[in-house]
């Protein structure tokens, strides 16, 4: 089973760039999208009902902002939007889909660059998400936690670490939270398979960063330790265009 995650920076925008052709060609078993930036009444039927997939959406209350989606060939046992905390749920950042073999959490983490208030919101979201995952794990769930984390964990995960030490996305407090996630028994699947490889999943549009491969690795699949033995591959698909992010993928032996 192949599980893909992709921040599409607007599902309507990526649709115009061949998104449906890519889905048909790649044929992911599960596809998680972040930053769909659409309301339900703006979503055309071709995107709402992709042939061969069950689709689930969590729309942010603010128009043109945030939102996540899951397309799944297999129908989940259950699907839940949000984590039960209104200040986070109103932005449409989380969908949880439960399957017989694992539970999938698709997350679009906040960006903390606009203000100190927004950074604190991001840090609060971090703690709430970890608590949410821990509650699921206590119930014996095997977890896949994918999405745009908006954090580069270590210096190998971005092109210019020294220039970004004081910027949200690479702040010590944010990186320490990733350390905490790992300490709690979650595994960065890409680093598990590629401990030293330099590869990025996001590039700024502003400076033609993709042309120079001056990027950041901020899109992840973390899995709980009780699932890592069933992960057989993890990849970053840098050749896929259409967004300022590229898709990331894991394969499960299930």
DSSP string, 93-126: -EEEEE-SS-EEEEEEPPP--S-HHHHHHHHHHH
Q: Is 148 a catalytic residue?
A: yes
The C-alpha atoms of residue 132 and residue 113 are separated, in whole angstroms, by 24
In the set 148, 157, 188, 244, the catalytic residue is 148
Residue from 214, 192, 189, 187 nearest 203 by CA = 214
DSSP string, 43-107: --HHHHS-TT-EEEEE--SSTTS--EEEEESSPPSEEEES-S-HHHHTT--EEEEE-SS-EEEEE
DSSP label at residue 213: T
Catalytic residues: 148
């Amino acid at each position: 089973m192949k599980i893909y995650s992709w921040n599409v920076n607007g599902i309507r925008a990526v649709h115009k760039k061949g998104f449906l052709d890519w889905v048909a060609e790649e044929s992911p078993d599960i596809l998680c999208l972040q930053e769909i930036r659409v309301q339900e009444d703006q979503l055309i039927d071709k995107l709402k009902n992709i042939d061969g997939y069950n689709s689930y959406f969590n729309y942010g209350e603010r128009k043109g902002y945030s939102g996540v989606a899951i397309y799944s060939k297999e129908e989940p046992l259950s699907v839940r939007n949000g984590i039960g905390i209104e200040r986070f749920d109103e932005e449409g950042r989380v969908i949880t889909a439960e399957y017989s073999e694992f539970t999938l959490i698709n997350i679009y983490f906040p960006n903390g660059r606009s203000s100190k208030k927004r950074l604190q919101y991001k840090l609060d979201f971090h703690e709430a998400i970890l608590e949410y995952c821990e509650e699921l794990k206590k119930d014996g769930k095997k977890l896949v936690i994918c999405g745009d984390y908006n954090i580069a964990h270590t210096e190998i995960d971005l092109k210019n670490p020294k220039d970004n030490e004081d910027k949200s996305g690479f702040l010590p407090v944010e990186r320490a939270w990733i350390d905490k996630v790992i300490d709690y028994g979650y595994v960065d699947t890409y680093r598990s398979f590629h401990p030293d490889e330099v590869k990025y999943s996001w590039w700024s549009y502003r400076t033609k960063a993709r042309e120079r491969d001056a990027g950041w690795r901020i899109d992840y699949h973390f899995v709980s330790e009780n699932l890592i033995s069933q992960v057989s591959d993890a990849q970053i698909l840098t050749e896929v265009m259409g967004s300022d992010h590229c898709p990331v993928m894991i394969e499960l032996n299930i």
